[in-house]
């Protein structure tokens, strides 16, 4: 897995995903080690989504198993995200500051 200091990971929690009956957060930042744990857990069924552009991907690589989004802000939700609305999603992109 690529470890970049400018890589941001975000987990979107679907309504039925969290350990508690009702998640308090729908969106939160996670670190690389938490993503690694999620990917190793066969019960998590996490989908990792890369929102970087082609130039960044070519230079820095892609997290293994990540699905490449066509754009960071203008993609077809029905075509590019899993059909299960309760699936945990992790979006990541670079911070080009």
What pLDDT shows up at residue 25?
Answer: 64
What residues contact 35, with CB distance under 8 A and at least 6 apart?
1, 9, 46, 48, 63, 90
What pLDDT shows up at residue 40?
Answer: 92
- pLDDT tens digits, 52-78: 988 989 999 999 899 999 887 888 888
What pLDDT shows up at residue 66?
Answer: 94
What pLDDT shows up at residue 86?
Answer: 84
**How far apart, in whole angstroms, are the C-alpha atoms of residue 71 and residue 49?**
11
Count of all residues that appear for the chain in the document: 97
Total-model pTM: 0.70
Residue owning tokens 């198993």: 65
Neighbours of 92 (CB within 10 A): 22
Identify whether the C-beta of residue 48 lies closer than 8 Å to the C-beta of residue 66: yes
What pLDDT shows up at residue 17?
Answer: 38
pLDDT along the chain (97 residues), means of 10: 52 45 70 91 91 91 92 86 88 76
Nearest C-alpha neighbor of 11 from the set 96, 87, 97, 85: 87
């Amino acid at each position: 897995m690529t470890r970049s200091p400018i890589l941001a990971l975000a987990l979107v929690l679907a309504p039925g995903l969290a350990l508690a009956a009702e998640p308090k957060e729908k969106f939160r930042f996670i670190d690389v080690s938490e993503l690694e744990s999620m990917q190793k857990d066969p019960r998590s069924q996490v989908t990792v989504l890369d929102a970087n552009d082609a130039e960044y991907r070519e230079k820095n690589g892609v997290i293994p198993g990540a699905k490449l989004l066509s754009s960071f802000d203008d993609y077809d939700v029905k075509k590019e995200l899993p059909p299960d609305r309760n699936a945990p999603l992790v979006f990541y992109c670079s911070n080009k500051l």
